[in-house]
Amino acid sequence: MKKTVAEIAAFVGGEVQGNPGLELQSLANLKNAGPADLAFADEKFYAEVPASRAGCILLERNPFPDRTVIVVRAPKLAMARAATLFVEPDTSGPAIHPTAVIEPGAVIGRGTRVGAGCYIGRGVRIGNDTQLYPRVVVYAGAEIGNRVTVHAGAVIGADGFGFVWDGERYVKFPQLGGVIIEDDVEIGANTCIDRGSLGATIIRRGAKLDNLVQIGHNVEVGEHAVIAAQTGVAGSSIIGARSLIGGQVGIADHVTVDAGSILGAQAGVPSGKHIRGGGLLWGTPARPIKELLAQQAALARLPRFLKELRKKTPSSSENEKGS
């Protein structure tokens, strides 16, 4: 779809400087963009603007008087919004692919697309305008809301991981609970969200989960929480609304992460802990970034410090040997 610069500016709430009648066809990054592409630049990339061949650039302010630009308060957000002008959702082919398996009692809303090879179990309920990419598996009884996106290979509603030792073997603890995916959630490729054991696992409205994420039984992921790839959340933990959880983070069972918390990549939160919001935590066990960096800096000095000390105080050195 072609759009003029003026149309784009009106849509994103920005101001044209340059040629409002220029027609654009697509989006690209500064570096690869051509004369029919829209691009955007944050302030720190302004040095790359002169060399860009982009037809029009979204900017917060305009130091480039000879370019066609749209001045807008949040250029990256405007770029995200403008994308919807150019990219039509692919609605070719049937809404429910003929190779998808829909078990009896499953209900699928209008405008929802179910990709090739998906499996929708008995009694599953899926809302409207949701998209399941190929090979998604939804176990019996799961509930998925409206405008949800689930990428290929994701598994929703498999049994949680719970066993009780009887002295000779493990007896499986019942995994009969539900799994509820609310509206506007996005779930990455090959991500797994287990059903609750007796209660339900809940992914609240607007949460975004990347690829290969593991969500255990009875977990609650809050509204608009963001969880990056390969992170795992164990049973019964609560991830607060609008939290930002980095990649490969491990959150043990029965943890509470307050709303608005930030956990850096590979952080680890031990069982039962309460993470209070308002600041970046990192490391295992997760602690305020400032503490962790001070500890890492001190640790980096420690080998030389101990060596110097040993030179000065031979008795201390002997104590060490005796340990």
Residues with active-site annotation: 217
Query: Binding mask 241-280 vs a second copy (x if CB under 8 A, - otherwise)?
Result: -----xxx-x-x------------xx-x-x----------
Answer for which of 81, 125, 273, 276 binds a second copy (CB under 8 A) is: 81
Work out whether 286 is an interface residue with a second copy (CB under 8 A): no
If binding is defined by CB under 8 A, does position 288 make contact with a second copy? Answer: no
User: Does 226 participate in binding a second copy (rule CB under 8 A)?
Assistant: yes
User: Which residues within the stretch 171-190 sit at the binding site for a second copy (CB under 8 A)?
Assistant: 171-174, 176, 184, 186, 188-190
What residues from 57 to 76 belong to the interface with a second copy (CB under 8 A)? 74, 76
Residue 222 touches a second copy, criterion: CB under 8 A: no
Return the residue matching tokens 């593991």. 214
Query: Pattern 193-212, binding to a second copy, x per CB under 8 A?
Result: -x--xxx------x-x-xxx
**Count of chain residues binding a second copy (CB under 8 A):** 106
Residue spans of alpha helices (H) in the chain: 5-12, 75-86, 289-312, 314-321
Whole-angstrom Cα distance, residue 236 to residue 197?
9
CB of 65 to a second copy, least distance (A): 26
Expressed in percent and rounded to 5, the helix, strand and coil fractions of the chain are 20, 30, 55
Q: What is the DSSP string of 270-317?
A: -TT-EE-SSSEEETTTTEEHHHHHHHHHHHHHHHHHHHHHHHH-HHHH
Choice between 22 and 228, CB closer to a second copy: 228
Which span (13-21, 42-50, 56-64, 300-308) binds a second copy, by CB under 8 A?
A: 300-308
Instruction: Report if residue 107 touches a second copy, rule: CB under 8 A.
Output: no
67-88 in b/e form (b: 16+ CB < 10 A) is bbbbbbebbeebbebbeebbee
Ramachandran bin of 298, using left for φ above 0, alpha for ψ from -120 to 50, beta for the remaining angles = alpha
Verify binding: residue 101, a second copy, rule CB under 8 A.
yes
**DSSP state at residue 84:** H
* Residue 167 CB coordination number (10 Å): 4
